[in-house]
Amino acid sequence: MKKLFYMLLAVLALLGYTMAFAGETGIKLSRESIIEKIQKEGVIRVGMSTFVPWAMKDKQGQLIGFEIDVAKKLAQDMGVKIEFIPTAWSGIIPALLTGKFDVIIGGMGVTPSRNLKVNFTMPYDFSGMSMVAHQKKAAGFSSIEDFNKKEVVIAVRMGTTAEQAAKKFMPMARFKLFENESQALQELNLGRVHAVVSSAPMPAFHALKYPDKLFVPLKENFTREPIGFALKKGDYDALNYFNNWILNMHSQGFLKEKKAYWFETKKWESLIK
């Protein structure tokens, strides 16, 4: 009986420790969740970078685009204000990890290497890589193989999935890396590179702006990638909330409607010209 008594005490002690640990862990996770922080402060801070038509500035200097509409709708549904924090793409994940903002909503492709550093939500969109080429320098080019040559020079924005895709599919080409997309496009317009690789539909839009100089050599995108919100690891409350919000926006047709406006029409073009 004495042995049984001590065994019972040990079990109860272990159970108490387990419950206390679980309780402390739950409190810690709740305390650390950005959802509570956002609600308490009344503002959500969104890290982003400019990619046409994901996010760009209009004539008045205000941010517009697909990502901007998505982030604003999220803030509205959370009942808080929104603060956009433009950040260089090459440093956007480190900035998230140091707490510069709460979440990245910036057309970020979900990749295994990025997922080692941050958590991703379920996809709220899918994108793919395309390219816009110089008519004279890339005359007659119509396939990936045409660009996969050592004499070909391709411009791309550094630190992006566009850079990864370009180097994977065209490893023999030479690359010029730029901090932002506008620099890469300027290099193309001046005829210093054969092409620029970027997320669709930017290449098609840029080719339409300069039909006498540029063209889209590929009929279809050469990759397809999921796009998700990125947030710090360990914040399961935030991941749960964002996932369910995205699920709701898919079911309501909001994401489909906004994607159609920004990616399938040019009705917004007058806002930036």
Q: pLDDT digits over 100-129, tens only?
A: 999 999 999 999 999 999 999 999 999 899
Question: What pLDDT shows up at residue 265?
Answer: 84
d(CA 93, CA 102): 11
Question: What pLDDT shows up at residue 26?
Answer: 43
Question: What pLDDT shows up at residue 266?
Answer: 82
Greatest extent of the chain over all pairs of C-alpha atoms, in Å = 95
pLDDT tens digits, 193-235: 999 999 888 898 899 889 999 999 998 899 989 999 999 999 9
Does the structure show a pLDDT above 60 at 28? no
Question: What pLDDT shows up at residue 5?
Answer: 46
User: CB-hemisphere CA count at 13 Å for 31?
Assistant: 6
pLDDT tens digits, 33-61: 999 999 999 999 999 998 888 999 999 99
Question: What pLDDT shows up at residue 7?
Answer: 54
Query: Which domains, ranges and CATH numbers included, belong to the chain?
Result: 34-126+225-271 (3.40.190.10), 129-215 (3.40.190.10)
d(CA 4, CA 12): 12
d(CA 234, CA 124): 21
- Listed in sequence order, the residues at least 6 apart from 122 whose beta carbon sits closer than 8 Å to its beta carbon are 228, 243, 246, 247
Q: CB 48: neighbour CB atoms within 10 A? A: 25
d(CA 55, CA 66): 6
Question: What pLDDT shows up at residue 264?
Answer: 82
Question: What pLDDT shows up at residue 16?
Answer: 55
Confidence of residue 159 (pLDDT cuts 50, 70, 90): confident
Confidence of residue 30 (pLDDT cuts 50, 70, 90): very low
pTM of the model: 0.75
- Listed in sequence order, the residues at least 6 apart from 254 whose beta carbon sits closer than 8 Å to its beta carbon are 73
Strand 195-199 to strand 153-157: parallel, antiparallel, or no bridges (unpaired)?
A: parallel
User: The tokens of 108 are what?
Assistant: 């970020």
User: The tokens of 225 are what?
Assistant: 């990638």
